[in-house]
Structure formats: structure tokens, C-alpha cells
Structure 1
């Protein structure tokens, strides 16, 4: 089956602004998606990126303008300075990994719901109750916040290693089975076109 590896961090406002367009594109073309939450700070360190806190002020000012522009363009609510950012991305990432393994719910909606909780609802997505609410809302067991923590940690690390090997350097990042790579929510229309041309 045709396939997309979706590398992302739950802390990324750009992944949040992607909304559910990836899922819509995948459904349109009959493509399977594997969700691969990763450690974005490790990705920056290993691929020559710069952590947000270490970027020049001009870059961060431009980032802020772009976030507001894209939020308006896409009609997606976004607080560019959320109350709980940055937070620890690991608990939410582990829950996504556990949910993907468990199946039975809407994984794409879960991923978007967690990011929306951070970027539009002023919630701390490192907290078990916030994660549990999102799991339950999208058809998964709240118990996934606690089960499979060791496996989640191992998979999270493996996803990060795989991302570096695959050429990933930011979030969101989409890679097709023919190694076509697309970085950023503003490249989703190009991913759509690529899948449609094959």
C-alpha cells in the first residue's frame, strides 16, 4: 500500500496549522500514514538546526508574523504565545505511539486535538488529564496515558533516529514511500499533487 511517514513534534505550531489536511489527502489517494512523533530538539542538534530560544530576534519576529498570517489564512485559532509552551512533549508523544499501536480510534484527530489543546485552548499537554481527555474524545482508552511507557520511550527515540537517517530536519515533515520529502504545512498541496501524479 502507498505510504507516508509523518514526522512531527506535538510542540510545533506549524504541525498544528496543518490541521487535518494530511488525513484528507491520504484518504483522497488511498495512502496509509504512519505517525512518528520525534524529539525536535535532538533533531535540531543533529541536523544543524537552531533551537527557538537561541535564534536571532529577527527570525523569531518573522516567525510570529508568519504564524499569525497562516492562522488567519487557514482560519485556525492560534495563540502564538500559549500559556504552556514549551512543555514536555514526551507524555503526549508516548500516548500517540500507544494509540497508534492500539488502534480503534481516530489517530489523526487525536494528534490534532493534542496540538489544538496547546495552541488554542491554553492546556498543558504534558499533563495526564489533558492527554486522557484527548484520547477519550477520539475513541481511545484513557489508560494509554500510563500503559506502554517504556515502549513509547523506545519508539520515540527510534523515530528520532529514523528521522535523521531519512533526512528530516524540522516539523511537520512528510516522506512518501518513493522518498519524496515535504517540509512544512505549506507544502501539503505539493504532497497532494505528487500523490496525484503517481
Structure 2
């Protein structure tokens, strides 16, 4: 069975713009998904990237144009300057890890609900009430927002180390069980084609 390690960040607009297409692709191709939220700023620092705020103005301006176009292509609303970005991504990431361990809901819906809260709803995903609401919307027990936070913190840190060792350098990043790597929501079509070719 095909498998996808999915490295992403809850603050990433490009994770948001992936929507639930990964889950649709995995369902069509019979693939499993391991959800691995991580600290994208730390990933950039470890792999030669530059945080958006530190990029040349030309790159910053292009990024905003690209975000607008990409969101339009997939039919998603986007606020290019959200009220709560950046914010602390750890609490929402811990909740996703707890949800993956606890089960009972839809992981794709959860990740999209959290990223949508940032990029379309101007909500602060570092806040417990926002996280609980996203958990509920995805069919999870909202109490997972506070479940095993120490264990989730350890997994969150381990996800970063694993991503670096596996060749990831940005988000969203998809790696198959055969070490095929795909960077960006705009490469989901390529991932789909690869999985279909190997059914």
C-alpha cells in the first residue's frame, strides 16, 4: 500500500491552499497519510530558507501575488494580511498530533479548518477556543486540545528532525514510501500521477 508522509505547518498559506486534495488523492489511490506538523521557521533555518519577513521586497511582493492567484485557482478565499499571522503555531500543531493519536475524526478536515481559521477567518490559532472549535468541526473531541501536550511537543520536535533528514525544506511537503518528494500544494497533481502510475 502506498504511504505519504505529510510535512506541513499550521501557519502556512500554502498548506491552507492544499485544502483536502491530499486526502482525496490518497482515497483514490489507496494510500495512507501520516500527518507531521512542524515548525516551518526552524525548517527554513535548518535547510537554507529565509522567513517571508526577511526576504527581499521583490520576493515578498511576488509571494503575495502568487498566494492570491493560487487561492483563486482552487476557489478558496484568502486574506493576504491576516490579523493573527504570525502567531504561535505550537498549540494547534500539538492538537493535530493528539488528534492523529486519538482518532475519531477527519484529519484532513482538521488541518484545513485550522489553516482556514488563519487565512480566511482572521482567527488566532494559538487560542484554546479556536483550536477546540476546529477539533469539533472535524469530528474530534475538543478536549484533545489539551491532551498529552508533553508527548505532542516531543513529536512536534521530532517531526522537524525527521523532515530535515528525509530531504524536506518547505511546506507542504509530501514524501512517499519510495522516497519520491513533492514540494508545494501545486505539486499535488504530480503526486497523484505518481501514485496512479504505481497502483
TM-score, normalised by the number of residues in structure 1: 0.99
Tell me, yes or no, if the aligned pair for 2:2 and 2:195 is still in contact at 8 Å.
no
**Pairing 1:16-95 to 2, within 5 Å after superposition:** 16-95=16-95
* Aligned equivalents of 2:190, 2:88: Cα separation in 1: 32
Q: Secondary structure at the match of 1:129?
A: helix
What is the DSSP-based 3-state SS (H/G/I as helix, E as strand, rest coil) of the residue aligned with 1:34? strand
SS in 1 for 2:165: helix
1:184 matched to which residue of 2?
Answer: 184
In structure 2, C-alpha distance between the alignment counterparts of 1:151 and 1:20, rounded to whole Å: 26
Number of aligned positions between the proteins? 198
Q: Deviations over 1:45-98 (max 9, x none)?
A: 110111111100000000010011111111101101100000000000000000
CA distance in 1, matches of 2:135, 2:68: 28
Q: What SS does the corresponding residue of 2:44 show, helix, strand or coil?
A: helix
Match of 2:116 in 1: 116
Q: TM-score, structure 2 length as denominator?
A: 0.98
Structure 1 runs of 4+ aligned residues shifted over 6 Å read: none
| RMSD, aligned CA | 0.6
User: 1:147 Cα deviation (Å)?
Assistant: 1.3
